[in-house]
Amino acid sequence: MKKIIVASIAAMAVSGALMAGINPATCAGCHGAHFEKHALGVSHIVADMTHKEIEKALIGYKDGTYKKPVPAMAGVMKGQVARYSDAELKALAQKIGK
């Protein structure tokens, strides 16, 4: 019984995390914990970008219309954002940048 309760609490925690949207920690390896780095030495500093610019970039990498600043590197970001919906990407764009 106790095990079942623990398991259902764990399941709730997982779905809660999914509901909360994209975890920016998945971006930290390249962009820095506060988006303060040039990812792989090429990207702009995302912390300095506006919410709107970030939204355009994230959705654009996904649909292939945004390939900046280095076109050959856009595939790296496509791999990061392809699994998310536009709504999730928009919500994330509101949480980071300025």
The structure tokens 């998945």 sit at: 26
70: contact with ligand HEC by CB under 6 A: yes
76: contact with ligand HEC by CB under 6 A: yes
CA-angle at 22, arms to 24 and 20, nearest 5°: 115
Task: For residue 4, give both structure tokens.
Answer: 């079942």
39: contact with ligand HEC by CB under 6 A: yes
Are residues 84 and 41 in contact, defined by beta-carbon separation less than 8 angstroms?
Answer: no
For residues 11 and 42, which CB has a smaller minimum distance to ligand HEC in the complex?
A: 42
> What region, left, alpha or beta, does residue 68 occupy, with left being phi > 0 and alpha being psi -120 to 50 degrees?
beta
58: contact with ligand HEC by CB under 6 A: yes
Query: Segment 9-38, which members bind ligand HEC (CB under 6 A)?
Result: 22, 26-27, 29-31
Provide the binding-site residues for ligand HEC, judged by CB under 6 A. 22, 26-27, 29-31, 39-40, 42-44, 46, 54, 57-58, 67-70, 73-74, 76-77, 80, 92
